[in-house]
Amino acid sequence: MEKDRNRINHRIGRNGRAELCLQLALVVIGIAALMAMPGKGGDVLLIPISGTLATTVNLALANEARLIEAVPSVGGVIVSGDGWHMMRPMLGQGTLVIGVPAVFCGSSSLSNGVAA
């Protein structure tokens, strides 16, 4: 019995453990990516990568989004609206679109779309 157990453990070895760890990491990354996808409604974090924040805000407003708050720690803004509807124009303009509750994003210099 002990000999069989040692034989099985030896068969898995380091490579098997590395493969298992890699698979678990991919599952965790996949779940995190699904959680960060913007939904049909709710809050969306917009982070301009190749454009300016003003351009990002204007494009969001043109896509019927409502400003919630600025996030100076990442140089972005949180808006409320249809994340799926905004995704294509935002990505085309060079803005990262992440679905996230406003509570997780830090400071609030905008409140209900009005500068504080």
Confidence of residue 62 (pLDDT cuts 50, 70, 90): very high
Tally of domains within the chain: 2
Handedness of CA 48, 54, 57, 62 (dihedral sign): negative
Identity of the amino acid at 82 = D
Helix (H) or strand (E) holding 114: strand 114-115
5 shares a domain with 56: no
Indicate whether 29 pLDDT > 60. yes
What pTM did the predictor assign? 0.61
104 shares a domain with 47: yes
99 shares a domain with 48: yes
47 shares a domain with 28: no
In this structure, what are the phi and psi dihedrals at residue 2, rounded to the nearest 5 degrees?
-65, -35
| Residues facing residue 80 across a β-bridge | 43, 66
29 shares a domain with 65: no
Rounded distance between C-alpha atoms, residue 50 and residue 110, angstroms: 23
* Structural domain containing residue 81: 43-115
109 shares a domain with 62: yes
